[in-house]
Structure 1
Amino acid sequence: MLDRLPRYIDPLHLADKRGELKGELSLKDFGRLGDMLFDTDGKVVVDLFFSREGRLAKIEGKIETHLQLVCQNCLKALDWPVQAEIHLGIVNSLEQIDRLPPGFEPLFVEEEKVLLQDIVEDELLLNLPQYPKHPEPCADQDTGSRTPSQPEADRQKRQDNPFSILTNLKNLESPHGSTKK
Structure 2
Amino acid sequence: MLARLPEFIDPLHLADKRGELKGQIPVSSLDRLADILFSDSGVVTVDLFFGREGRLAKVEGKIEAVLELECQNCLQAVQWPVSNSIKLGIVTSIDQANRLPEEYEPLLVDEGKVLLKNIVEDELLLILPTFPKHQHNCLAQKPDIKKVDSLSHEQQSSTENPFSILAKLKNTGDL
- One-letter amino acid of the structure 2 residue matched with residue 152 of structure 1: E
Alignment match, 1:152: 154
Q: How many Å apart are 1:3 and its aligned residue? A: 4.3
Whether contact under 8 Å (1:5, 1:21) holds in the other structure is: yes
Question: Aligned pair 1:167/2:164, yes or no?
Answer: yes
Rounded Cα–Cα distance in structure 1 between residues aligned with 2:120 and 2:99: 23
Give the number of aligned pairs: 169
Q: How many Å apart are 1:36 and its aligned residue? A: 1.3
Rounded Cα–Cα distance in structure 2 between residues aligned with 1:39 and 1:102: 35
- Alpha carbons of structure 1 residues 3 and 36: separation in structure 2 relative to 1, 3 Å: farther
Whether contact under 8 Å (1:90, 1:108) holds in the other structure is: yes
SS in 2 for 1:32: helix
Task: Please give the root-mean-square deviation of Cα atoms over the aligned residues, in Å.
Answer: 2.4
CA-to-aligned-CA distance 1:109-153 (integer Å, 9 cap, x gap)? 001111101000000111111112223322478xxxx78522233
Whether contact under 8 Å (1:64, 1:82) holds in the other structure is: yes
Rounded Cα–Cα distance in structure 2 between residues aligned with 1:172 and 1:20: 88
SS in 2 for 1:35: coil
Normalised by the length of structure 2, the TM-score is: 0.86
Identity %: 55
Normalised by the length of structure 1, the TM-score is: 0.83
Higher Rg: 1
Runs (5+) with no aligned partner, structure 2: 142-146
